[in-house]
Structure 1
Amino acid sequence: MKAIQFKEFGDPSVLEKVDVAKPELAEGEVLVKVSAIGVNYADTARREGAYVVPTPLPFIPGAEVAGTVEEVGEGSTRFKKGDRVVTLIGSGGYSEYVKTKENTLIPIPAGVSDETAVALPLQGLTAYHVLTTMGRMEKGETVLVHAAAGGVGSLAVQLAKIFGAGKVIATASTSEKLKLAADLGADHAINYTNANWREEVMEATDGKGVDVALEMAGGNVFHETVKCMRGFGRVVVYGVASGDPASMYPSGLMNRNLSVIGFFLPQIMKKPVLFEKSLNQLLQMVNTGGLKLTVGGVFDLEEAAHVHEMMQERKTKGKIVLKP
């Protein structure tokens, strides 16, 4: 089968098309014929050798796939050939076929396309659990969402409103992205490339600060975000897109009873009840029109290097999808 793989760490040019053996099933596993693959910043971090856990070489990236069941292994009873499914896997998604445990597969509702469904597992679950499980957002609270036009951010803006946020403040880097965030329901849209963006956040909260902040940039953005927090506020860190990990003195959180919380999605997979319940809920929101997904482009699998380049140059918005 065809796949995209890298044998060394580096820029997008290290991604190469290869022929690899189709996966063989063990007991309880299912083979999925892939029709849509979600592309994420985690894929670029893997490629650069900068991911939060070690990346073995050679490596086939890709954690999100949607497609149809091709074959079921011994002991697998929940699915049959032809069923449309979506899943989150550790790696191997940039390929024509993947295998996974059947308990990680979620049926795709009839009214949802594969390209739409594959936009949900990583970024949808991240937005959902950063707000709820980790951020413990309560109705009426003010939420700050950085990179609000991106995959996680665009979903987090909507989910925060669905879950009852009193005010959602979105940040982004261009007027086009700010308009998207506003169209998705943000009450305030602020350009974080402006030197005074923190002052704008404080002005939007009448000087009180925000209750929950979703932070994935790192560096100075993290430090400025902490300064935006209200007493008992929670900053949830789920990435370091700038490549500049922030350092801090924990004692500096004490005077406002602040919390800084880390989130790493693969840990959710260790709690199947969290994974299945929340992903099913997200799919139903999409199916009923309550949650809108932004698919920023669909590209051939062979264009993976070009897609990585566009993403890292911040030339994309919403979810980017590859198709074998």
Structure 2
Amino acid sequence: MRAIAVKEFGGPEVLELCEIPEPEIRPGRLRLRTILAGVNFADIHLREGTYPAPMPCPFVPGNEVLGEAEDGRRYVALGKGGGYAEVVAAHRKLAFEVPDGVSDHDAVALMLQGNTAWHLLHTDLKLTAEDTLLVPAAAGGVGSLAVQLAKRTGAKVVAMAGTEDKRRIALGLGADAVVDSSTTEDLAERIVEAASGQVTAALEMTGGDVFYATLNALTPRGRMSVFGAVTGVEGLVPITQLVGQSKSVTGFWLPSLYPSRTHINDSMTALFDAVQEGWLKPLPGPVYKLGQARQAHTDLAARLTSGKVVLNVRN
């Protein structure tokens, strides 16, 4: 079968289109012929060797797919690599049949990014209608879904994005206010102004100066959920600020919920229902051919994309 393999860590150039054997279909696995493979920042970190749960080389990246089973039914599935390939062996407990009313692209957008947005808001932050939520990269895969899910709870949403077009997208998704995140100068002050002085909850996935600006913008007893560090810049959380203002910072990684028998099942049911009811609309993103994986990674890393980025594995 055709697949994208990483034989050594590095830049997009290490993504190699090649022929490899199909995966073994062991008990508890479901053979899927891949239609779409999701492309995420986690794939970039895996390729670079900086992911929290690194994979040894060689490996096939891709943690989410939409594919067709032997009986013709469509499934979306989560995994730990293997998605950039024509055939995957999906864990049955992390594979979900796609309802007829949900499109291929919408279904794969819900898998990793939809579940991440859902659990960031409902499992980690426990968002309520009384909150004002800050959402970074609000025109991206997770951010665009988080804006809509947060508005559904009744919360006020302040969205950050780096271009005027992306800020317009965020407003179209329901954000109450937008902030230019292309520069970090006075970012905390601009966030507070957009939020009318009250940011009670925040998502964070950039790291560095954006992390500190987000923390500074939080009201006393505010809470922040960190689900990435795109810039790769790490630093110390100021303990005196946490204690002195009773702020909280938590980390979130979706695979930590995979062993649960209920978390992903419950969120997938809710997400599928939301799309079929029409109030949750995954943002369309660019579609690349399997052989264009390098370009997909390059564009995603350069923040040139919006919505859900996918590889069409059948092309």
CA contact (8 A) 1:6 1:15 kept: yes
Give 1:28 shift: 2.2
Query: Which residue is equivalent to 1:300?
Result: 289
- In the alignment, which residue of structure 1 is the partner of 2:124? 134
Contact kept in structure 2, 1:233 and 1:257, CA below 8 Å: yes
Q: Distance in 2 between matches of 1:101 and 1:314?
A: 31
- Does 2:267 correspond to 1:282? no
Q: Secondary structure at the match of 1:59?
A: coil
Structure 1 runs of 4+ aligned residues shifted over 4 Å read: none
Match of residue 123 from structure 1: 113
What does residue 78 of structure 2 align with?
88
Instruction: Name the amino acid aligned to 1:118.
Output: V
Residue 97 (1) aligns with residue 92 (2): no
Structure 1 residue aligned with 2:41: 41
Deviation per CA, 1:77-124: give whole Å up to 9, x if none.
xxxx21111111111000001112222211111021212211111111
Give, as a single letter, the amino acid of the residue that structure 2 aligns with 1:226.
L
Instruction: State whether residues 179 and 194 of structure 2, in contact with CA within 8 Å, keep that contact through their aligned partners in structure 1.
Output: no
TM-score w.r.t. structure 2 length?
A: 0.96
| Structure 1 counterpart of 2:63 | 63
Task: Determine if contact 2:158/2:195 at 8 Å carries over to the other structure.
Answer: no
Aligned to 1:148: 138
Please name the residue that 1:321 is paired with: 310
Kindly state the Cα deviation for residue 246 of structure 1 after the two structures are TM-superposed. 2.8
Distance 1:32 1:5 in 2: 18
Partners of 2:194 and 2:158 lie apart in 1 by: 8
Report deviation, 1:197.
2.8
Q: Counterpart of 1:225 in structure 2: which amino acid?
A: T
Partner of 2:17: 17
Separation (CA, whole Å) in 2 of partners of 1:319 and 1:206:
31
Q: Which residue is equivalent to 2:210?
A: 221
Partner SS, residue 154 of structure 1: helix
1:215 and 1:267 mapped to 2: Cα distance? 18
2:28 is aligned to 28
Check whether the contact 1:220–1:246 (CA below 8 A) recurs between aligned residues: no
Residue in structure 2 matched with residue 252 of structure 1 by the alignment: 241
Distance 1:226 1:87 in 2: 34
2:103 matches 1:113: yes
Residues 78 and 90, structure 2, Cα contact 8 Å, conserved in 1: no
Give the Cα separation in 2 of the matches to 1:304 and 1:129.
28
Question: After superposition, where does 1:200-219 map in structure 2 within 5 Å?
Answer: 200-207=190-197, 209-219=198-208
Unaligned runs of 5+ in 2: none
C-alpha displacement of 1:322? 0.5
Aligned with 1:51: secondary structure? coil
SS at match of 1:118: helix
Alignment-mate amino acid for residue 49 of structure 1: G
**Deviation per CA, 1:225-274, whole angstroms, max 9, x where unpaired?**
11111121111000001111232232320121111000011001121300
CA distance in 2, matches of 1:139, 1:37: 35
Structure 1 Cα separation of the partners of residues 210 and 235 of structure 2: 9
Per the normalisation by structure 1, the TM-score is 0.94
**What is the letter of the counterpart of residue 15 of structure 1?**
L
Contact 2:178 2:194 in 1 (8 A): no
Report percent identity of matched pairs: 43
Task: Identify the residue that residue 169 of structure 2 maps to in structure 1.
Answer: 180
User: For residues 119-175 of structure 1, what are the alpha-carbon distances to aligned partners after superposition, in whole Å with 9 as ceiling and x for unaligned?
Assistant: 11111111111111111111221000011111110010000001221x100001000
The answer on whether the counterparts of 1:38 and 1:320 sit within 8 Å (CA) in structure 2 is: yes
Distance between the aligned counterparts of 2:303 and 2:121, measured in 1? 24
Q: State the match for 1:270 in structure 2.
A: 259
Task: Confirm or deny: 8 A CA contact 1:295 1:321 kept in the other structure.
Answer: no
Consecutive unaligned residues of structure 1, counting only runs of 5 or more, are 71-80
d(CA) in 1 for partners of 2:235, 2:213: 11
